[in-house]
Amino acid sequence: MLPFVAVSRSRDPANEGRVDPLLEVREKRRGKRPGDAYVRIVRPYEDTLRKGGDEGELIATERTILERRGWKAGVRNLRTWLIGRPIHSEREEHERLTKVKGLAIFSSDNISSSAYGPEEIMRVLALAGSGVLFLTLPLAGLIVVMLAIVTLSYRQTIKAYPKGASSYIVASDNLGSRFGVLAAAALLIGYVVTVAVSVSAGVAAMTSLLPAIYDDKVWISVVLVLLIMLGNLRGIRESGTIFMVPTYAYIVVMLGIIAYGVARVTLGEVPAFVPPPDWEPVEQTTQVLGLFLILRAFSQGAVALTGVEAISDGVPAFRPPEWKNARTTLTWAAIVFAVLFVGIAFLVTRLGIQPDGSERNTLLSLMVRTLAGDGLVLAVAQVATALILVLAANTSFADFPRLSSFLARDGFLPRQFAFRGERLAFTTGIVALSAVAIALLIGFRASVSGLIPLYTLGVFIAFTLSQGGMLARWWRRREDGWRAGLAINGLGTATTAVVAVVVGTSNFFQGAWLVIVLVPILMIILMGINRHYRDMDQALALDHMDPGEEVAPRPIVIVPIARLDRPARQAIAFANSISTEAVAVHVTNDPAAADEMRERWPEWAGSTELVVVESPYRALIGPLLAYMDALQRQAPDRPVLVVLSEFVPKHWWENLLHNQTALRLKLRLFARRNTIVADVPFHPYRD
Amino acid sequence: MLPFVAVSRSRDPANEGRVDPLLEVREKRRGKRPGDAYVRIVRPYEDTLRKGGDEGELIATERTILERRGWKAGVRNLRTWLIGRPIHSEREEHERLTKVKGLAIFSSDNISSSAYGPEEIMRVLALAGSGVLFLTLPLAGLIVVMLAIVTLSYRQTIKAYPKGASSYIVASDNLGSRFGVLAAAALLIGYVVTVAVSVSAGVAAMTSLLPAIYDDKVWISVVLVLLIMLGNLRGIRESGTIFMVPTYAYIVVMLGIIAYGVARVTLGEVPAFVPPPDWEPVEQTTQVLGLFLILRAFSQGAVALTGVEAISDGVPAFRPPEWKNARTTLTWAAIVFAVLFVGIAFLVTRLGIQPDGSERNTLLSLMVRTLAGDGLVLAVAQVATALILVLAANTSFADFPRLSSFLARDGFLPRQFAFRGERLAFTTGIVALSAVAIALLIGFRASVSGLIPLYTLGVFIAFTLSQGGMLARWWRRREDGWRAGLAINGLGTATTAVVAVVVGTSNFFQGAWLVIVLVPILMIILMGINRHYRDMDQALALDHMDPGEEVAPRPIVIVPIARLDRPARQAIAFANSISTEAVAVHVTNDPAAADEMRERWPEWAGSTELVVVESPYRALIGPLLAYMDALQRQAPDRPVLVVLSEFVPKHWWENLLHNQTALRLKLRLFARRNTIVADVPFHPYRD
């Protein structure tokens, strides 16, 4: 019944089995002949722990984390069903991404932007009248040129930083950690917004197909985020497998439609744009086509470039040779995007398609309808588009946790973010991203689509810092081909800086101000965490003090007891097992009850000394602390060990009826110098 | 710098000062002649602890609870300013109530009902046309008769239960604990509702004087509750002093007005009722005057009787002889109420005053206006009424905590409710009542006036059970005068039972259903708590096991360390001070870092053994538990003492960046058999 039972009054070690910390129990036995002895080695629990190669080393097996009993086993089974069995650290390389999966994971974000990029450009241009819509194609071309510049320069960056070419790393390394943190803060916010925006955009695309689910869009969004989270918790390789299908489906469907459209146009057979019945022309405004409007239209398409940063951040996720595979994937992602984006822009301008003023039809659906009619092709294209819009979130799920792990490694985020979970995924980052994105979705009732231009800003700030960092690097190092590198990254810096300014100013009141407010706040938090970790290292690290073993004096052991019961008796027994002069202390406001306790004391507690501290003001903690002070005044060097008996109830809610005073006492003692607290739990309901 | 420093490698007790638990340090000194020795006794900290009368007894002084340094001293000063200095337990009797203060505290609730009781009766009667308003006076008379019956029978109850005549106690004692808990649940809910209702009614009276504050009424209500709470936290005697003034002000003002009015009416000079311009007649309905309507009108006035229970509950708060003083106060409270209630009912019917259909003018204000005009007297009467309406809440503040303390004493509520705070008040009950009432006020936006009839139900359920209990008592005991007692309590039982049924049915849809739903829920909670305490006593009490000192085997001591730093070194030093075979355990997923640690180990940690448990699935807790299992398999009887080093950071928020794993580990270890956890805090920022 008692968790530990009396075995013997004596404390002679000979009476108690000696414990071997390496779990080898050597049994000495006499042989048959006199003087003959042999040693047998027993290793308990060989199924959970194995002996390692070095002296004093044990290796835990998978069984140590698998619960085998009770409700916890059920939780473990559910967990295995949801995210799979734990993966051994040695399998890390095996869990990396192939180029095909890498393209799907890291490019779903920018490939999805081909679905709405041309439309966003057209809508801005339409403000100056439908006469200027012909500019869509040149602007799309300009974006592809910019993408080419950025891709080229990031190919260099990936080569230079083969262990992860995140803007954070490049900027930290070349421009100083402040710029690195600025890039990181901008990217973190960008990734969170990306999740919320793309999921809500995807759900909006779904609700336009199935208007009946419109009222539940918040919960559908939340469930989608949770599903993507689960997929990512299964590890990057499996999430690549899961999310590859919709990405390639979109690519194949769209390439097919574009090829078909271009072929028909080339053959001179241009189908007429017949607007569907619910189509409305875009409202005309008095805006004239100026530089600002062109720049705004251009910045609408610039979201396409975000995938470049995504791949650079994720270099370590690729199979070796990591940087080569990442570079190849980057190039392919740029080509796929360019073909889709220019193809769509070409077809819509050539077919004379105009955006729907009522926003009931997307430009893409109008294009598909014009080319292939109102049938199966349109439905397939719509579903593929909705899926890839949702999956754009997955890029953030691949990058946010990895960037967080870089930040945690350098002490800018809590260490948990650098810890790989059972499936080698950065669990904390994945869960944190989901939580913030879900909060955003619920807060904005899943209509955050207006924030689309907003997240471009963060990425372009990071781009500019990364390119600027590379510029500084070329200039300092003057390695082979530094002039060409300087030219490419210089062009990249200039381009991305201009886009960042355009995006920031043209969307300032539409949401960019929020990024401009949040980025510095997040920077302050990141740098505060970093200062804390540095202070802590300064305070704790052994390097700042003399080597040598530390020796502590024997503690003064006291056992505060509220009443004479079995947990108290057990705590006293424990105290006596580690000290020859332990004292029980009873703080009370009821002298009569204390007298009774003193009377029964010898019968129940033997020779252990009892001190009664009467508290006429009914406080418990103050008098106990005063008593501890008085004890320590007698022996200032000795710490006080406070042995607390705690009752472990049957149900968790019963804790509300207990241990409140113990909890307050522990908080006070935690802050007290030279004080150690030992908890002796009492489990009456366990056999 | 270190909380405890090395003093000596040796653990010879001779090297360390022995500590005397009774704080008497006997210094042995040699006298002048050889063999001459004397003992000097030193008592450290005589200002915080004094020696008590018995052996082994210390008495804490007030200084043990007064903080003298830092921000905590500021908190203490603020606390002293708000609620006063701590009061010694011996002053308890001095802190009791005189009859004058007792009347003010326990009767403000029912005296305040004279302000709205007649109006509520009239409004119900008016449903059957203004022709039946003359019934107001007979109904008021009937209520006073009922009050007389209940008062008479409670005078007997108080005599029979001189230590507290709460319905809970009377019903438990005579009808069994289930009925006691039923009475208690009904009363607890009634008290909470009373606070919310009376404060919101008082604030409504204020806003009718000052419409500008209407928008802030929720916050005004909350502040008023907090003020009443503070007053009560100062102790019952001081709260009596504070809240006596408004109660007696209302009594004096109203008695004056009634005397003046009755005098004028007696002199044949009846002023005409001239309705003010914003007065509107009450809307006529087609209801006919039936028994149900009369009963409903009657039940509206029945709220007047709640003060009777209040005084009975609070008997122990009176100065000795408690029961005599309580009885006298009860009688006086009934008389004061009867005079006010009947006086007002008489005047309003005699002056022909009719309630205001627009609810902009109270009946009382119409009466005062008719008698004394629109001037100072009206203003004074209005202010006094608003104050007493708010102060009706104070009765609950006197009774709820006391009833809770009875319940806690018997194990139906957590023990904290029975604990007297620094001012001898039942702090937990006072704070709990305020919290629930504030939640109610905020939830209902301070317009809970509609619940007024609701709280009468709880009180009448309790009344009926108390009277029924007395009935059973007389019948069983057959003491002197049992026939008279039986008659009085029988009449009381019948009357209060009828009122309970009338209130419950006539207001069922107006809110009484809520009471009927909540009372059983609260009963289940109270009885669940009781069952828990009984189970616990069964499991813990020493009576259920053999006497004798318990002896525990030496613990197996392990020190889990995350890295080789100063907190870890300190934890190892502590472990070595209480065990000769302590082992440091390092669970890691990074074999390279572990190798480095093993290399540096002898330099920093001396001869303490280090065990490295490699965790290829990156879990920390599972492998550690498996290792502990393996150790205990070697010595099944010995408990494991887990020594954890914890870093105490400079700011509280920094805890979020630390100790997360330690916290999870502690939760797991808390539930583990045969396991003790010792926390060794490390304070790098304290000198």
Task: State ipTM.
Answer: 0.85
Among B542, B566, B616, beta carbon nearest to A540: B566
Which residues in chain B are closer than 8 Å to A535, comparing Cβ atoms? 650
Rounded to whole angstroms, the Cα distance separating B113 from B107 reads 10
- Nearest chain B residue to A676, by CA: B680
> If we measure between CA atoms, which residue out of B89, B53, B61 comes closest to residue A627?
B61
Partner B, chain A 598-627, Cβ-Cβ below 8 Å:
598, 603-619, 622-623, 625-627
Among B87, B419, B627, beta carbon nearest to A49: B627
- pLDDT at res. A671: 84
> Cβ separation of A617 and B529 shorter than 8 Å?
no
> Cβ separation of B60 and A623 shorter than 8 Å?
yes
User: In sequence order, what are the beta bridge partners of B610?
Assistant: B584
- CA angle, corner B636, sides to B630 and B638, nearest 5? 100
- pLDDT at res. B671: 84
Rounded to whole angstroms, the Cα distance separating B665 from B624 reads 9
Contact A279, A485 (CB under 8 A): no
Q: Is the pLDDT of residue A29 over 80?
A: no
Q: Mind telling me how many Å the CA of A337 is from chain B's nearest CA?
A: 39
Q: For residue B248, give both structure tokens.
A: 């007696």
Residues A279-336 pLDDT 10s: 888 776 666 667 777 777 777 777 777 778 889 988 999 998 999 999 999 999 999 9
Which residues in chain A are closer than 8 Å to B610, comparing Cβ atoms? 56
Q: What percent of chain A has pLDDT over 70?
A: 91
Q: Which of B18, B42, B58 to mutate to test the interface with A (most CBs of A within 10 A)?
A: B58
Q: Which of A676, A685, A687 to mutate to test the interface with B (most CBs of B within 10 A)?
A: A676
Q: For residue A676, give both structure tokens.
A: 């150690």
For A346-364, what is the mean pLDDT? 85
State the pTM of this model: 0.82
Among A45, A615, A630, beta carbon nearest to B45: A630
Rounded to whole angstroms, the Cα distance separating B67 from B70 reads 8
Residues A403-412 pLDDT 10s: 999 999 999 9
Q: What per-residue string of b and e applies to B139-166 under the rule 16 or more CB within 10 Å gives b? A: bbebbbebbebbbbbbbbbbebbbebbb
Q: Is the pLDDT of residue A509 over 50?
A: yes
Rounded to whole angstroms, the Cα distance separating B347 from B258 reads 8
Q: For residue B296, give both structure tokens.
A: 């409903």
* Residue B498 main-chain phi, psi, to 5 deg: -60, -45
Q: Is the dihedral of CA A234, A236, A238, A243 positive or negative?
A: positive
Contact A149, A491 (CB under 8 A): yes
Q: Mind telling me how many Å the CA of A91 is from chain B's nearest CA?
A: 10
- Nearest chain A residue to B422, by CA: A617
Contact A369, A378 (CB under 8 A): yes
Residues B324-348 pLDDT 10s: 999 999 999 999 999 999 999 999 9
Residues A220-269 pLDDT 10s: 999 999 999 999 999 888 888 888 899 999 999 999 999 999 999 999 88
| Chain A contact present for B673, CB below 8 A | yes
Residues of chain B with pLDDT under 70: 1-17, 25-44, 284-289, 448-454, 544-545, 659, 685-687
Q: For residue A387, give both structure tokens.
A: 């899926």
- pLDDT at res. A310: 87
Q: What per-residue string of b and e applies to B621-637 under the rule 16 or more CB within 10 Å gives b? A: bbbbbbbbbbbbebbeb
Contacts of A72 (CB under 8 A, 6+ apart): none
Q: Mind telling me how many Å the CA of A520 is from chain B's nearest CA?
A: 20
- pLDDT at res. A205: 79
Among B529, B622, B679, beta carbon nearest to A65: B622
Rounded to whole angstroms, the Cα distance separating A384 from A111 reads 12
Size (chain B), residues: 687
Partner A, chain B 640-669, Cβ-Cβ below 8 Å:
641, 646-650, 654, 656-658, 660, 666
Q: Is A445 exposed, middle or buried (0-12, 13-18, 19+ CB in 10 A)?
A: exposed
Rounded to whole angstroms, the Cα distance separating A387 from A410 reads 36
- pLDDT at res. A2: 39
Which residues in chain A are closer than 8 Å to B7, comparing Cβ atoms? 551, 553, 637
- CA angle, corner A632, sides to A627 and A633, nearest 5? 95
For A167-195, what is the mean pLDDT? 92
- Nearest chain B residue to A556, by CA: B19
> Cβ separation of A21 and B603 shorter than 8 Å?
no
Partner A, chain B 392-451, Cβ-Cβ below 8 Å:
414-416, 419-422
Among B65, B555, B682, beta carbon nearest to A577: B555
Q: Is the peptide bond before A246 cis (omega within 30 degrees of 0)?
A: no
| Chain A contact present for B20, CB below 8 A | yes
B168 backbone φψ class: left, alpha, beta (φ>0; ψ -120 to 50): alpha
SS3 label, residue B456: helix
DSSP state of B512: I
Instruction: Output the 3-class SS for A26-50.
Output: EEEEECCCCCCEEEEEECCCCCCEE
- pLDDT at res. B453: 60
Q: Mind telling me how many Å the CA of A131 is from chain B's nearest CA?
A: 56
Lowest mean pLDDT among A176-190, A481-495, B50-64: B50-64
Q: Is the peptide bond before B3 cis (omega within 30 degrees of 0)?
A: no
> If we measure between CA atoms, which residue out of B581, B557, B612 comes closest to residue A51?
B612
Q: Which of B41, B55, B577, B656 to mutate to test the interface with A (most CBs of A within 10 A)?
A: B577
> Cβ separation of A16 and B551 shorter than 8 Å?
no
Partner A, chain B 82-111, Cβ-Cβ below 8 Å:
86-90
Contacts of A468 (CB under 8 A, 6+ apart): A171, A174, A175, A179, A493
